[in-house]
Structures are given as structure tokens and as C-alpha cells.
Structure 1
């Protein structure tokens, strides 16, 4: 029986949970939970609603169970104290106690000791198999929710998604080896690379040994193998993998021994025609403190970058996320979120989760636009950082290939006039400057000239596809510079 208090036990659980989920999800779903008691190796935690209980059980069941086993032992149990809605004549919260649902019969966590049952530095008892005796039965460590059908395609990711699908259908037997995906935080790298693993397993079943692992876990396991004099077994295990997927490869930076070990594993797998998939937050050549020989190998196959999703893709992602989470949002709400959360997919998901939690706690059936603005106001960053009219002029003139001073002169050349009008239009979109101020930056023109320019651009965008494409390209270029 554990001698821990409920508070201490839950604190240890939270330390583990924080390392395994995003900060936004941790803040939304775990920080509001309070420990109630710890008796007979059963930890009771208080959650705000029945919905909260069901959400945790549906989305975090496995993580909670394994976390509890680490803190309280294999016989540790979890029980929920679910707060019920107060009736009119009650002053205190009522609650009901619900146990964690039983472990499904096909998910025995101890059955696969020859492979990696889970990745927890310092906790792996026997992750390696002696080569030549039998092939390891490997837990791929994949999230089943990360599949191609749930990955919204747009201009920002079309090349990467198409290549990923081709690799999943024919791993190792293509020119995309290694496949290196890079892009900023929250753009869907992990989803895409795990989709490759899940698709390959679906296509080939047990014929392929597929493994997804973070670079940090790879390093920690390698260090543990060295400490236990099992480095050769570590190497042999990884050489059995048919599709090796390593996330956040940039964290190999400065780790010389890890880089050397991965170099040899990479060579062995590549020579044997095994598929290697890597992700990073930057292009191979931009990763600091990585050996040149590794950088060279990272560039052997295909490198594809993920860009910030454009408005249409953000809207489609929001629709999918809302449907997946059982929440119905009006087009006005979706538009509001899509316009205000521009940097990455993770922020979009965080906005949906916060609205979902609010609707559950407040028993709201329909979320109105004004309500969404109020709930999300602390998450909304300024749509645009400070950008000057001069900078906008530079972007536009660079696009048209003309000297910036030309848009300030009194010339009537058609190309200059068009660039000037578009620059005025974008200045109104991206700055808080008055029409008079904008005019002054374009050779002292008055506000009526600026109004005419804006109206002309808007009219041409509605009637000419070429003109609309041109303005949209400039808008996205300036927008990306302000994120």
C-alpha cells in the first residue's frame, strides 16, 4: 500500500503527464483537477463534470493508466469524483464517484517485453531482442488518430502529404528515402509522419516492423543501453526496423555519441532498403551542431517543408476538429477563429478545446460569435505585429520589380499606378493609419485618392482572377512577415 498522500501522488502523476501532452491540453484538462484521497492504493480525483470524466477516459485512458502504474504500482487504481450541477436549493456541490473503466482485454501492457511497450526513460526493463533467435514483436508507439484521412490538405502541405502517402504505400522502395519533413511548431509534422506509419501497418500488417520514436527518447534509451553494457543489443534492435520514424531530429544537436550511433543505424537501414522518416523544426542545413556526414544523409532523399496554413485550410481544419469533438460551430464562429489563429494548427485545436470545455461547464447548447470572442480573448494574439507603410511599399515594389520611390512619384505609368493602388489597399489592411496618413506616404496624395485606390483594387479582385491572385499572394507574404 502506498504511503503517499493524495496530493503528492497526483503531483507525481502531473509531472509525468506534462511530459507527454501539449501545454495547452495540460492546462485545459489536467490543471483544474483536484486530488481528493488515496486509500487502498486507489487515487480519487475530482473533475468538474460528467463530460470531463468521459473526455479523460476516451482520450487519455492509456496515459492515465500507465502513469498511475508508475506512481502507485501495477495495482494502483483511479477513481473519479464527478461534480454534479447544483440544484436551486443547494449551496454545496454534489458529486458522484465513478471508477476508471476496466482495461480492454487486448491491451495488456506487459505482454510485449521483447519490444518497446512504452517509452519512458529509465523504466524500460528489456527492450532488446537477441538477433537471430526471433524477430521482435514491436509496439509501433503510434497514435491511431494520426491518419491521412484526418489530415487536412492545403497549399501549405500538399507536397509533403502527397510524398508521405506514396512512401506509406511503398516504404523503402522509392526515391524519398530518407523523407525529411520540416516546419515550425504546431504545423502537423507529427501527425503526418505518424500517418505514414499507420498507413504502412494497414497496408502490410505484421510484415513490417514500424517504429515511431522521439529523438529525446532515442537518446535516453541509448544512454541507458551504454550504462547497462547493452549498446550492441540496442543497435541490433534498431536494425530490425523496417520503417523508422524519428520525430524532432533537431534535438540530436550537440549530442556527439547519439549522432554517431544514429549515423551507423541510418547507414545500415538505408543500405538494406528500409524506410527512414525524420522531422525537424528547420531544414537539415539549418540544424546547428549536427555532424556534416549526417546532414548529408538527411538530404539524400526528399525534404519537404510545412508552411503556415492559409485561411481556407484553417477553416477546414476547424470544421474537422469541431466535428471530431462533437461540437457544432456556426460559420461565423469558424471564420472568427480562422481569422485570429493564424500561426499553427495546434492553436486552432486549443481554441476548439477551450470552447468545448466552456460549453460543457456552462451547459451551453450553441456558441454564439460574441461568446466565442469572450471565451478566446486571452488566447488571441494581435493579428498583426507592427508593420510600417514603408515596409508594405517595399514588399509590393519588390513583387512588381520596380523601385520603391516610383510609387511616391507623380507618374501615370500603368504598372506604377497598379502597384501604388495595391500598396495603398494593403496599407489600409495591415496598419491603423488614417487615409490621410496613407496618402502622405505616397507622395502627399489626399484621402480621396486613397479611397479611389482601395475601391479600384477591391473591384478588380472581384472581376479579375489574375488580379485577385496577385493581391492574395502579396497579402499572404506580408501576413507571414507579421506572425
Structure 2
């Protein structure tokens, strides 16, 4: 009987599939292709050296049994690794490696025609115990849904996060992009989703990584000439959480490699969660093909917490720390620190520390002193409402007129200036700025910013408006 490499490998796969989990089979055996059968040696093609090492580390015994059943005791196995040559020559190169003698299979010695030899392969995500099957998630269990309190400012993002945690990869929120200003809980929510998934689906591989760390790892993989192994490592993750995705801006190589990782994960029903300080429409120097993919799922904004949410955050923090604080002080803190949850928690910690170290009771005077010092040394965010008021007062009109639909030139210019400064001094998205300044869309805000920049260079009077308002907003 004339047997082919494909028929032998298909029979091996049938045996292997019956003896390992379906997830492991899909990840580690479906991508393999049978290439050649000669002299009782089966050559199989695998995507990378990392892939080959993992098979040898974890599945060599079952490979031996399957191949021996098909070809007998003299069976030989050769891996063919086809990968990109990342330096100069864009053509792929091939490396053939015989199976290790751990399998007790007879080895076939094969010349290795490699155009660009790579150094000893190491996993691109350098963490202890990477050789174990379990990959450490890098999640912080203190960032969970229990202490991520719901309010009007975060309800959509939190609800979407819970939906993803209940069914990762199985909702229309893929990717889930969480965006908003500094200190509003993006990182917290990203971790909370991951922690909840690990709790509900312990068998899933979840990984949290900052965009900065991802970029560093990519650069290292290029330096060591194992870019394909880097890509493949990220392609085996079930739930990938990338923090501060806007930091990919201007990094063409990192964007390209992330594009391949993203496509593979999305096509295979894996979950991608991203955080950013900007909405996709506001991201600069990010390739259009990536931006379009960021919009496939849901973009959910985190806004500044309202008064009730701020009170709830303070009370929850005090409860977790086992500290009691008079209601009037809680209200004072909630009224005076409005823009940033991180600032709010920092002020509470400072207040508790001063009280315990100096053995002083927490009083309103102590709270006032702490808040004054804290706010003095913290860069304050200007609100869109405040910007609209300053601009309206400067042009001697009310805010309603500024926001109106009128096309009178001086009112249009005032509105455009408000949009320009809102983009300059707040972390709000273009869509959010537009909706707060007269229910406009993001394209109107973008046009307003371009108009202000153009007029500032061509119109002396208009440049004075910009300079005067800039001074008023930075006092």
C-alpha cells in the first residue's frame, strides 16, 4: 500500500485528538502540516521554534506512540520550521530539526540549510516558570469588580467588562476598548475583567501586558531574530489585555506585529481587551488597519465620577481599610476632589496617615489642610464646562448662545475656540467634547481645532483671542 505523509499524519492526529483536550489539540496540532514521508521518516511543518520546543517539551510521548502505531518501531520524526528572515532578506527560510532522543525514536540526521541562524530561543515574555504549561497572568487581584464601584461615569464600561468576563470571546464586545483620562480606572477595570475570567475559567490563558512592555519585548525579539516566536507566543493567549495602547503611536514595527497577533486571536474567538487615554478616532500615528479593528467591538468611555460615585468610592475605601470618618469630611473630600479617582484615594490615604502618625483625630481642618496641599501639588484638569464659561464670558455671551446652532461668525469662532481648548486641556474624546459643546459630532471638533490653528497663524486679532484665553485657563 502506497502511503502518503498526509494519510500517516491524519491517522496520527485522530489518535492524538482522542487523547488530549480539544483546546490543546486546536492550539498545538491543528496548525501542523505533513510535508514528506521518506525512508520511514515523517517530516512535519510547524510555525516556529517556540512551537517545536513546546511540542518536544509536552507532547513528545504521545507523538512517539502515534507515529510508532503508524510506521513501526523504526519511525523517525523531523520538524520543518518555516519562518521569516527578519533582517534584510524578506524571503522565508527553512530549518529542519530531528525529534529529540527523549522519544527513543530513531533520529534522522539532517543538514540544516539556514540562511540566518538565530540564537538559543527563549520565550519573549520573560517570566519565571515559563516552561510550565501555565503562563502567569500578571494580573493584580486587588483590582477587581468588587472594588470598582459603578456610577453614571462608568456604567457602560463596567457592564461590558462583566459581559466579557462571563463569556470571553463570545460577545460582540471583541475587542473591548476602555478609554478615558488619567486616574479614572482603565487599568483597574482591565485587571478586574482578567481576574474574573481566571476565577470563572481557570483553564484559560489570560495575560495582562502594558503596551510599553510589549514594545520592549518586540524590539528584543527583532534583536535576537526570533520575531516569529514572539508572534506565536502571543497567538496562544486566550484573553489578551493590553494597557495604554496609544503608546503604539508612531511605532510601525510594533503595530505590524500587533496587527498579526490581533487578527489571529480575533479569528480564533479569543478575547482582546485594550485600554487607552484616547478614543480610536483621536489616536495619532496609529495605522488605519489597526484603528478599524479597534472599532470592531465596543469602545466604552470612563468619565469623571459624579458626586454620588465619589462619596461611594471614599466610603468603600474607608470600609476596606477599617477606618471610620465623619460624614462631613467624606462630603468635603467628595466636593473638593472631582476629576481623578487616583487623587481622591491618595487624599484619603494621606489623611489617614497624618491622623495615625500624629495621633490626631480626623477633623475638617485636617482634611482641609491635606486637600489644599494635595491639590496644590497635583496638576488639575480643566473641565469642559469651565472652558465654555471662560470663553463665553470673554466674548460676552452666555453658554447657551455658545452652544446654539447659530452660524453667526463671532459665535462660531467662540464655539470653535471652546472646542480647541477642550481638546488641549482635557483628556475627553472628540466625540465627548462635541456632545458637551452643543451636541456636535467628532468631525466638527476636529474641523474646529484645524480652523483655530490656521487662523492663529494668519489673523492677528484671532491670535490675541487664543493668547488671552490661554492665560485665563492656565491661571
**TM-score, normalised relative to structure 1:** 0.54
**Of 364, 389, 393, which aligns to 1:390?**
393
Aligned-pair CA distance for 1:403: 11
Instruction: Pick closer, same or farther for the CA change 1:125–1:212 going to 2, 3 Å.
Output: closer
1:379 and 2:374 equivalent? Answer: yes
| Counterparts of 1:400 and 1:299, CA distance in 2 | 31
Do the aligned residues in 1 keep the contact of 2:328 with 2:364 (CA within 8 Å)?
Answer: yes
Q: For structure 1, which runs of at least 5 residues remain unmatched after alignment?
A: 1-113, 130-134, 405-472, 475-480
Further displaced range: 323-332 or 213-222: 323-332
Unaligned runs of 5+ in 2: 1-121, 409-435, 438-471
Which residue of 1 is the match for residue 9 of structure 2?
none
Aligned-pair CA distance for 1:142: 0.5
Partner of 2:280: 284
Say which of 341, 348, 364 aligns to 2:344.
348
Going from structure 1 to structure 2, the CA distance change for 1:115 and 1:232 (only over 3 Å counts) comes to: closer
The change in CA–CA distance for 1:301 and 1:315 in structure 2 (over 3 A counts) is same
Report the structure number with the largest CA radius of gyration.
Answer: 2
Moved over 4 A (4+): 125-129, 381-389, 397-404
Q: 2:220 matched to 1:194?
A: no
Q: What RMSD, in angstroms, separates the aligned Cα atoms of the two structures? A: 3.0
Describe the superposition over 1:158-178 as per-residue Cα deviations: whole angstroms up to 9, x where unpaired: 011001000000000110000
Residue 158 of structure 2: aligned partner: 161
Q: Shift of the alpha carbon at 1:395?
A: 2.2
The CA distance in 1 between the partners of 2:216 and 2:180, in whole Å, is 24
Give the superposition deviation at 1:232: 1.8
Q: Which residue, out of 290, 302, 306, partners 2:302?
A: 306
Q: Which digits, 9 at most, give the CA deviation of each residue in 1:4-23, with x for residues without a partner?
A: xxxxxxxxxxxxxxxxxxxx
Q: Secondary structure at the residue paired with 1:245?
A: strand
- Post-superposition shift, 1:326? 2.6
**Is the contact between residue 128 and residue 233 of structure 1 (CA under 8 Å) also seen in structure 2?**
no
The TM-score, its normalising length taken from structure 2, stands at 0.55
Please say if 1:150 is aligned against 2:147. yes
1:176 paired residue number: 173
Q: Which residue of 1 aligns with 2:221?
A: 225
Give SS of 1:212's match.
strand
2:358 corresponds to 1:362: yes
CA distance in 2, matches of 1:166, 1:262: 25
Whole-angstrom distance in 2 between the partners of 1:139 and 1:358: 38
Q: Does 1:253 align with 2:257?
A: no
8 Å CA contact retained: 1:354, 1:376: no
| CA displacement at 1:380 relative to structure 2 | 2.5
| Alignment: residue pair count | 284
Question: Could you list the per-position Cα deviations for residues 236-284 of structure 1 after superposition, in whole angstroms to 9, with x for gaps in the alignment?
Answer: 1111100000000000011110000000000000000000000000001
The secondary structure found in structure 1 opposite 2:172 is coil
C-alpha separation in 2, matches of 1:344 and 1:200? 27
Label 1:396 to 1:272 Cα distance change in 2 as closer, same or farther (>3 A): same
Matches of 2:253 and 2:129 in 1, distance apart? 20
Q: Tell whether the 8 Å contact from 2:351 to 2:366 is kept in structure 1 after alignment.
A: no
Show CA shifts across 1:166-206 (max 9, x none): 0000000110000001000000001111111011011111x
* C-alpha distance in structure 1 between counterparts of 2:281 and 2:404, whole Å: 31
Shift of 1:208: 0.4
Q: Structure 1 pair 126/338, CA: closer, same or farther in 2 (3 Å)?
A: closer
Q: Once the two structures are superposed, what CA deviation does each residue of 1:410-448 show, in whole Å capped at 9, x if it has no partner?
A: xxxxxxxxxxxxxxxxxxxxxxxxxxxxxxxxxxxxxxx
Structure 1 position 402, deviation (Å): 8.9
Contact 1:212–1:246 (Cα < 8 Å) also in 2 = yes
